[in-house]
Amino acid sequence: MAIVSNSSEKEVASGGGTPLYVGIAPVRILAVNPTLNELNDIGIPAKQEPQYVGLNIVGDEFNKVVLWVEHGGEPSFKTKLEFLVKSEAKVSQSGKTQWTNNIGQFAYAESKASEAYEWFKDEGVRKAFVGEETLMDFIKAFANVANGDDCYLETWKQVASGDVKEIRELVKALPGNMVRVLLGVKDGKYQQVYMKHFGRLKPMRDDLFLRKLNDDYGAFKAEYNTTLAFEPYSPVAISPDAEAELPESMQADTDDGW
């Protein structure tokens, strides 16, 4: 007989499925746009070479920056974040251009954002690329950049075109850094990561996740637990349509121009 048994009180994966999780968890970066061999080396059983450039999505062409991450605690598991980018300026539906600068501020304006807003710093101001804000928000949290300090990539046009060398160098330079992400589950079987807010390890501001979830365009299109506590996914306990409420005791002023 060879049976790897567990106590009936212990929750384990059943039915051959991969364990799934919800809630906020710290993760570390394992790889940036890895090759097939690199995926296999970190324990991802991929069988085909991944594609990161020239992807047709809803009739438009994008490139991808994919970050494979690992939970920074127990239980151990891996998942990925996918950032869609393009080497062209981001323009809103109303026709305004998105701008950025050397401290990672972003704003939409008809002319230079530094001329339209007093709080927007002029140093390094330029038009932002499609997908740049989301990726830079992640980098701010991962690199733990202080408000007002420099936060920009020198090779953004190359990054948007599929060359992620500078991001790999950053990850290599910060091997101990982690970022907090909100996990959810789509269709009951796919692990998802919330891409509209990324948290720092210190201070642990769960209220900022809740604040973003309650924004007009902040919905998480996956099932997650409204307490945001990290735990195994349980379909019965998850309410995908529940609105996350921000307790008064957790409210904070975050109008910092970032």
Q: How far, in Å, CA of 79 to CA of 76, rounded?
A: 10
Q: For residue 56, tell me if it sits in a domain.
A: yes
Q: For residue 74, tell me if it sits in a domain.
A: yes
pLDDT tens-digit series, residues 209-257: 999 999 999 999 999 998 999 999 988 544 445 444 443 333 333 334 4
| Number of structural domains the chain divides into | 1
Return the higher-pLDDT residue of 67 and 8: 67
Q: What is the DSSP track for 99-163?
A: EE-TT--EEEESS-HHHH-TTS--TT-EEPEETHHHHHHHHHHHHTPPTTS----TTHHHHHTT-
Return the higher-pLDDT residue of 16 and 127: 127
- Smallest CA-to-CA distance from 33 within 128, 238, 171 is with 171
Cα-flanking dihedrals φ and ψ of residue 235, to 5°? -55, -35
In this prediction the pTM is 0.84
Q: For residue 145, tell me if it sits in a domain.
A: yes
Where in the sequence is the domain holding 58, given as residue range(s)?
A: 21-90+128-241
pLDDT band for position 192 (cuts 50, 70, 90): very high
Q: For residue 45, tell me if it sits in a domain.
A: yes
Using DSSP, state whether 209 is helix, strand or coil.
Answer: helix
CA-only gyration radius of the chain, Å: 20
